[in-house]
Structure 1
Amino acid sequence: MASEGSDRAACEVWFYHLERTGLDQALPELLEKTLQRGWKAVVRSSAAERIDHLDGWLWSYRDESFLPHAPSDEPGAARQPILLTTSQENPNQADALFLIDGAEPGELDGYKRCVVLFDGNDDDQLRKARRQWSAVKARGFPVSYWKQQARGWEKQA
């Protein structure tokens, strides 16, 4: 159960339904906002090849900036503000967990927020996100659903 009987607030679980842009556009923006809050992040994928892709992409996605990060298998990765991984661990003591490619949340203790990003044009990802929504809600976590609109993200539930 989510932080039952503890002084710490339960991790908020936010579902982001991608419709207008892909993950490569949406994830860096959300990671920037996370760092602006003074939080650290873990980005968990179910696919090692996605981690390899993001490792290069987050250095170059925008000419005027980059996001400091490392894959979890690099030396000193635990000191990074953004950690890329396929594992269930939180070695950088991140405040935010980003789940992509259908990665499972696992234990959410220690996180303030878990963000599930899924492609609204992929039936498999939609089914998995619906299953994850039901599972985290049943575990007692506060959940929100955000849908990509023409004017930005809009909270739907």
Structure 2
Amino acid sequence: MGNALFYHLTRSPAARLVPLLLGKSLQAGWRVELRGSDRDRMARLDDELWLAEGFLPHGLAGGPHDAAQPVLLTVAGEGRGGAAAAECLIALDGAAVAPEECTAAQRVCIVFDGNDPPALDRARDQWRALTGAGIASEYWSEAGGRWERKR
């Protein structure tokens, strides 16, 4: 059973944190689903990941090789399934995460912009839903200048 890690962005954009989370997940040998809520946003993130420093093998969902991608960028409803299921799910921009996905994955990361009140409210709702379903959850904040686990 996995856990949910909530990443509260206050100083940097998600595009700076996501490559770090992807790199750590790939080092652990996990397949990753990077889930957003908007197809255009995921297409821009796809471009950014190709242009970023270092190489993170990935693909945008909808191609012929989705099942073989180590990192698959999706929009809600396009997720991996069966033998190609992701061991790590990273959710951006309020993308929905079900408790069942947390129990099936090794790790779920929920990244949200703490400077955006609706995003903050959505993350709070997700926290209540997941912890209420018995999912072990952690809260991480960068407010102090570096990522720190808060209690």
TM-score relative to the length of structure 2: 0.91
Which residue of 16, 20, 44 corresponds with 2:35? 44
Deviation string for 1:65-113 (max 9, x for gaps)? Answer: 1211011101111101000001343243211000101000033142111
What are the superposed Cα offsets for residues 28-87 of structure 1, whole Å, 9 maximum, x if unpaired? Answer: 11111111111111011011111111111111111xx12110111011111010000013
The CA distance in 1 between the partners of 2:23 and 2:143, in whole Å, is: 20
In the alignment, structure 1 residue 20 sits paired with structure 2 residue 11: yes
Confirm or deny that 1:97 pairs with 2:89. Answer: yes
Question: How far 1:152 sits from its partner (Å)?
Answer: 2.1
Q: Could you list the runs of 4 or more consecutive aligned residues of structure 1 that deviate by over 4 angstroms after TM superposition?
A: none
Q: Which runs of 5+ in 1 are unaligned?
A: 1-9
Residues 147 and 156, structure 1, Cα contact 8 Å, conserved in 2? yes
| Aligned CA-pair RMSD | 1.3
Conserved? CA contact 1:72–1:78, under 8 Å: no
Q: Choose which of 126, 147, 152 in structure 1 pairs with 2:141.
A: 147
How many residues of Structure 1 are paired with residues of Structure 2 in the alignment?
146
Which region of structure 1 is more displaced relative to structure 2, 52-61 or 121-130? 52-61
Maintained 8 Å contact 2:76/2:96: no
Deviations 1:105-125 (A, max 9, x none): 033142111100000100010
Q: What is the letter of the counterpart of residue 128 of structure 1?
A: R
| Unaligned segments of structure 2, at least 5 residues | none
Instruction: Return the structure number with greater helix share.
Output: 2
Report matched runs for 1:1-157 at 5 Å: 10-62=1-53, 65-88=54-77, 89-91=79-81, 92-106=84-98, 107-108=100-101, 109-157=103-151
Which whole-Å CA distance do the structure 1 matches of 2:16 and 2:106 have between them? 23
Percent identity (aligned):
37
